Chains A and B, each alone.
Chain A
Amino acid sequence: MKLSKAAHVPAKYQGLKDRELVRLYRNRSDELAFRELMNRHQTKVYSYIYSMVTNPEIANDIFQETFTKVITKMDDTYNEQGKWIAWVMRIAHNATIDYIRKQKRFVDVNGVKDADSKTDFYDRLPDHDQIGQQEEMELNESKNRLLRYISELPEEQRTVVMLRHYYEMPFKEIAELTSVSINTALGRMRYALINLRKLFDQEQKNESRTV
C-alpha cells in the first residue's frame, strides 16, 4: 500500500545516523538532512497514525500536525541525548491520542480493558453479517482485515501493538511513552494478542460456515 516514493537525497546522507542528520539540520540548516529523516521514518509514523485512526484524511491531518511540531520544536525542545524518532513518535502518539479522546467524547467505543474489565470482548464484536457485501468485498484483503481487527482493539492495547510493530520499541520505552509501568505495557500487549486471537478464531469460524 505504498502511496508515494521517497524524495531524492544524495547518497552520502543515507549513511548518516539520525543524530548526525539532526545536527546537520539544526546547526547547518541543511534541508537535505531533514528530507533524509523524513524518508527514513515517514512511512512508519504514518502507518502508526493510520492504524490508530483508520481514516486517511484524519491520518493526513495528524501526520501534518506531527511534523509541523517537529519542524518548529526541533530547535529548542528536542534533546539530542534521546533518540530522535522516539521524540517524533511521542509527538505523533500524543496527537493521535488527543484525536481519539476527542472522538470518544461523542461516541464511547470501549473494548475489553485489561484484567480488570468485566465484559467479554466477544460481546462487543461487530456483527459481521450486518456488514454490507460491498464493504466485505472491499475489506477482502487479509491486510485490511487485520488492520480492521486492530482498529477494534481498545486504544491502550492498540497503541502498544502498533508501537511495538512499527518501531520494535522496547517495552521500557513504550511504558515511558504511554506513562505506565513496564508490567502494564506487557499486560496490554498480552490482552491485545488474546483479543486478536479471538478475532482470528471468529474469522475462521465464519469462513468455515460460509464453506
Chain B
Amino acid sequence: MKFDENDSIRYLMKEMDPSEELLFEKRMEEDEDLLIEVESLRRVVHRLSDLPEMDPPRHLSRNLVLQASAHLNRRKRRTQAMYLSAAASVLVAFLAGALLFQDSSTTGGFEAVEPSRAKNALPIIKTETQSDSGDLAPWVDHEQDLHFMDRYSADQTESYDSLLHHSYQRLRPVRGATGQQQDRLRGLHLTGQSQ
C-alpha cells in the first residue's frame, strides 16, 4: 500500500480506518524518520489543546437573543397579517358568491336570507319632488313624498311590521303604492298629507 506525506496527519487526526492505521504503524516501525516526524507533529497537536476558549461578551450574546426575539415577533405579525388578508379574501368571495346566488333565484316568497347579508344590506331611501299620482300633494314640510324600501329576512318581519305601524301614526300610505313586494324587497311609500 502506498502512503503519501499527508498520511501522518490522517493518522494523528484519527481519520484512517483501522486497517490503514495498522499498516501505517507497521511502516513507522520500519521507518525511523517517519516515526520521528509523526511524534514531533503529535507534540505540536498536543500543545494545540492548550488553545483558549473564549466566550463572547455578555452584552453581545444578550443583544443577539433580543434580536432573535424581535425577529420572531416580526415574523408572527407578518404571518398574522397574511392569515387575516386570506380570511378577508375568503369572506368577500363567499359574500359575493352568496349575493349572486340569492339574486339569481326567482322565488317571490319570504325566504330567509343570511343574517350577514341582511345586516349588511343598506336601506334604499328614495325621495321624489313630485308624486307619481297626480292627486297626492307632496310632504308638508319638504314638499316631498317618502319612499322606503329595504331588503328583509324572515326573522326581521316583526320589526318591519312595527316600523309600518309607527309610520301610520304620523304619515299615511300613498294610495296604491304601499307594501310593494318584489323578490325579498318590501317598500313603503308614505305622505304626511291628510287628504
Contact = CB atoms under 8 A, between A and B. Distances in A.
Nearest to B72: A29
A71 interface: yes
A208 to B, nearest CB: 17
A46 interface: yes
B63 to A, nearest CB: 7
Interface in A21-41: 25, 29, 31, 34-35, 38
Interface in B15-71: 15, 40-41, 43-45, 47-48, 50-58, 60-65, 67-69, 71
B48 A165 contact: yes
B65 A75 contact: no
B161 interface: no
B51 A4 contact: no
Interface in A69-96: 71-72, 75
A143 B44 contact: no
B3 to A, nearest CB: 12
Contact of A38 (B41, B43, B61): B61
Contacts of A25: 68, 72
Contacts of A186: 6, 9-10
B191 interface: no
Contacts of B40: 197
- Name A's interface SS: helix
Contact of A63 (B4, B52, B60, B72): B60
A34 B65 contact: yes
Interface size class of B (residues with CB under 8 A): 35 or more
Contacts of A38: 61, 64-65
Contact of A193 (B9, B51, B61, B76): B9
B75 A4 contact: no
B8 A60 contact: no
Nearest to B76: A29
B13 interface: yes
Contact of B13 (A35, A43, A142, A164): A164
B44 A196 contact: yes
A12 to B, nearest CB: 18
Contact of B51 (A7, A63, A165, A197): A165
Contact of B56 (A42, A51, A187): A42
28 contacts: A3-B58, A4-B55, A7-B65, A29-B76, A31-B72, A43-B56, A46-B54, A46-B55, A46-B56, A64-B63, A67-B64, A71-B67, A71-B68, A71-B71, A72-B71, A75-B75, A142-B50, A143-B50, A143-B51, A146-B48, A147-B52, A170-B15, A183-B4, A193-B45, A196-B44, A196-B47, A197-B43, A200-B44
Q: What 8 pairs between A and B have smallest CB-CB spacing?
A: A4-B58, A186-B6, A46-B56, A3-B55, A29-B72, A143-B52, A1-B52, A34-B68
Given A1-B52, A60-B60, A193-B41, 8 more contacts: A47-B52, A47-B53, A51-B51, A63-B56, A150-B51, A161-B48, A166-B53, A200-B44
